[in-house]
Structure 1
Amino acid sequence: MKVDRLVSIIMILLDKKRIGAKELADRFEVSTRTIYRDIDSINMAGVPVRSTSGVCGGFEIMENYKLDKKVFSTDELSALMMGLSSLSNMMWGDELVHALAKVKSFIPADKAKDIELKSNQLSIDLSPWMGNKNIQSYLEIIKAALKENRLLSFDYADRYGNETTRTAEPYQLVLKNSHWYWQGYCYQRKDFRLFRLSRMSSLNMQEAIFSPREYQSAQLDFTDILATMQTEITIRIHKSIMDSVLDYCTYEQFLPDGDEHYLVRFPFIENNYYYSILLSLGNKCECLEPVSIRKEIKRRIHEMASMYES
């Protein structure tokens, strides 16, 4: 969010004597043009930032300036508190405490209760109900390695179950669709890779420190690609599993079929992942068409059943 970046820039300028536009752009992974627009926004908000040219030039807050606590509105402060509080497990302990303390210092006494109520209107809990018990400890190891530029070694299983031992430079933690990943430069593959935490084991942070190389954030938006691959199939579901199906499509794709069932135009790609979705719905879901998908589901069910017959 832009307001988060503006607050961070102000804090950096208060903490540092002077900092260049490129250094700020690199830190926030935006363009220098965006940084200049941010500086203009900060100036318009009443914080006097001046720029100096030359080899040691950059941005700095004018001397003897005292930050006005009214520079942020109640809604902006609420948004900052909401984000910092809800994503607390994404940050290192000391950094979170200091960031919260700084933001709280902006809150006028007469607005404190109102801001606290608003900041509690959204709660984000990223911890799973159940699952891989190593995920949380691995997150802490990866965050420490990111902070200290330390190499990570681990065993990794690909989606086909093939296991390899890897060493990689960590660059970015990613949460996508409730699954944790991290992007790193893999020494074995000599390229950047996106690793899924649930497929890792024996993760260790090494003593070796690496010099960060240039990298681009991992591509996470595959909407356009998926749109070309997906087709719609027709499934008939019992109303008791509506919530589960709505995780993959919208209510506009539902058509009532009697009092207990729905016909659903379900987005589908012919791969194991999508077949596993349909099979996970059990006898509450029936694929009606196309016939080819229906036959393949039937084959997979028979194959599963034969495992228990012997």
Structure 2
Amino acid sequence: MKIERLLSIIVILLERKKVPAPRLAEIFEVSTRTIYRDIDTLNAAGIPVITYPGVNGGVGILEEFKLEKNLFTSEDLSSLLTGLSSISSAFSSSEITNALIKLKGIIPEKRLKDIEKKTNRIIIDLTPWKNTNNVSSDLKSIKSAMDKNKILTFKYEDRQRKKSTRKIEPYRIILKGNDWYVEGFCILRNDFRYFKLSRISDLKITKKSFAPREIPEAEPENGPIQENIIILRVSVDKSLKGEFTELYGEQCFISEKDSKYVADIPFADNEYSYRILMGFADKCEILEPKNIRNEFISRIKKAAALYKM
């Protein structure tokens, strides 16, 4: 992962005067171009990494800037530790553990206790409550394939329940809301695609390697991951206030009368969203839009038909 590589580059450059960019590329098993992009990232963060030309050249941190390891503020370091700890909860990777150790290694001992105290104020645990879909195992396999530039194969079921077998070059893992996705170059579609891990089965790392491509900018906010969200107006029994507040926020309630609330909630027109509403049974009624209400009525009738005597 990029954050691990950036931290490791900092540690290496703090310990050495300069290192050739191709050597760094070899250490981290990436292209020299990627190393130069990392250098740009570090410079943008205020760490002056400079390039020395010539036969004995390389890259290094400006000597005057090596201020007794005071490279980051306490807030910077606690944020980095929190981020890495959250990632390790999902991946349980030795690389991430090593990155945590290295990061703590560049913190002066007199500051470490205060920084760890700040870090422990926020805990982000990305492990799922239920691991029925083997998400953790798939995440580890995908990361391993990315690290080794190996093609993945798996069976996939899309939103319309169409099934296909896919081969992809994996490039990115994304957590969007409660769902994990892998972004990769799909050989079947000859283009970059997002795949939801909960719809993946029979995931395998092949022995076939691929040459990394230039990947598009990440756009999980507005990209293909984004579901088509519409606003539902619903009538909700007051006994569901706690659940609705947890799911949609206090601001979803717009009025109340007797034992009911009227609420506006975001809704993705997919199976998962319908199942959530079906779970509220007779304590939640869809008021509008009409097409969603009619679809819901149709689903209720099909369910009721199963129990006709």
| Pairing of 1:166-245 with structure 2 (within 5 A) | 166-222=166-222, 232-245=231-244
Preserved CA contact (<8 Å) 1:230 1:268 = yes
For 1:37, the equivalent position in structure 2 comes to 44
Unpaired runs of 5+ residues, structure 1, are: 44-48
Note the C-alpha offset of 1:18: 3.4
- The whole-number CA distance in structure 1 between the counterparts of 2:280 and 2:261 is 14
Unpaired runs of 5+ residues, structure 2, are: 26-30
- The whole-number CA distance in structure 2 between the counterparts of 1:63 and 1:84 is 28
Aligned partner of residue 122 in structure 1, secondary structure:
coil
Note the C-alpha offset of 1:272: 5.0
- Change in CA separation of 1:216 and 1:57 when aligned onto 2, cut-off 3 Å: farther
- The whole-number CA distance in structure 2 between the counterparts of 1:5 and 1:207 is 25
For 2:20, the equivalent position in structure 1 comes to 18
- The whole-number CA distance in structure 2 between the counterparts of 1:91 and 1:226 is 24
Letter in 2 for 1:71: L
Note the C-alpha offset of 1:148: 0.6
Aligned partner of residue 160 in structure 2, secondary structure:
coil
- Change in CA separation of 1:248 and 1:31 when aligned onto 2, cut-off 3 Å: farther
- The whole-number CA distance in structure 1 between the counterparts of 2:206 and 2:189 is 19
Q: Deviations over 1:87-106 (max 9, x none)?
A: 21455633223212222123
1:304 maps to 2:303: yes
Letter in 2 for 1:279: M
RMSD: 3.8
For 2:286, the equivalent position in structure 1 comes to 287
- Change in CA separation of 1:190 and 1:291 when aligned onto 2, cut-off 3 Å: closer
- The whole-number CA distance in structure 1 between the counterparts of 2:155 and 2:305 is 33
- Change in CA separation of 1:218 and 1:307 when aligned onto 2, cut-off 3 Å: farther
- The whole-number CA distance in structure 2 between the counterparts of 1:182 and 1:62 is 38
- The whole-number CA distance in structure 2 between the counterparts of 1:66 and 1:230 is 49
Aligned partner of residue 128 in structure 1, secondary structure:
coil
Note the C-alpha offset of 1:160: 2.6
Q: Deviations over 1:115-170 (max 9, x none)?
A: 22211111111111124342221111111111111111222222233322222211
- Change in CA separation of 1:3 and 1:205 when aligned onto 2, cut-off 3 Å: closer
- The whole-number CA distance in structure 1 between the counterparts of 2:268 and 2:92 is 40
- TM-score by length of structure 1 reads 0.79
For 1:148, the equivalent position in structure 2 comes to 148
- The whole-number CA distance in structure 2 between the counterparts of 1:91 and 1:291 is 44
Letter in 1 for 2:277: L
- The whole-number CA distance in structure 2 between the counterparts of 1:152 and 1:132 is 21
Q: Deviations over 1:19-71 (max 9, x none)?
A: 39x97873596795x55434xx224xxxxx44334698653235799661333
Note the C-alpha offset of 1:78: 1.6
Paired residues in the alignment total 300
Preserved CA contact (<8 Å) 1:19 1:57 = no
For 1:52, the equivalent position in structure 2 comes to 52
Aligned partner of residue 167 in structure 1, secondary structure:
strand
Q: Deviations over 1:236-291 (max 9, x none)?
A: 11233234434664423313524643211234466655544432322221123455
- Change in CA separation of 1:139 and 1:255 when aligned onto 2, cut-off 3 Å: same
- The whole-number CA distance in structure 2 between the counterparts of 1:175 and 1:296 is 30
Report percent identity of matched pairs.
Answer: 38
1:138 maps to 2:138: yes
Aligned partner of residue 172 in structure 1, secondary structure:
strand
- The whole-number CA distance in structure 2 between the counterparts of 1:3 and 1:204 is 26
- The whole-number CA distance in structure 1 between the counterparts of 2:226 and 2:157 is 25
- The whole-number CA distance in structure 2 between the counterparts of 1:93 and 1:4 is 11
For 1:252, the equivalent position in structure 2 comes to 251
- Change in CA separation of 1:267 and 1:90 when aligned onto 2, cut-off 3 Å: closer
- The whole-number CA distance in structure 2 between the counterparts of 1:31 and 1:68 is 21
- Change in CA separation of 1:164 and 1:27 when aligned onto 2, cut-off 3 Å: farther
Aligned partner of residue 87 in structure 1, secondary structure:
helix
Aligned partner of residue 173 in structure 1, secondary structure:
strand
For 1:46, the equivalent position in structure 2 comes to none
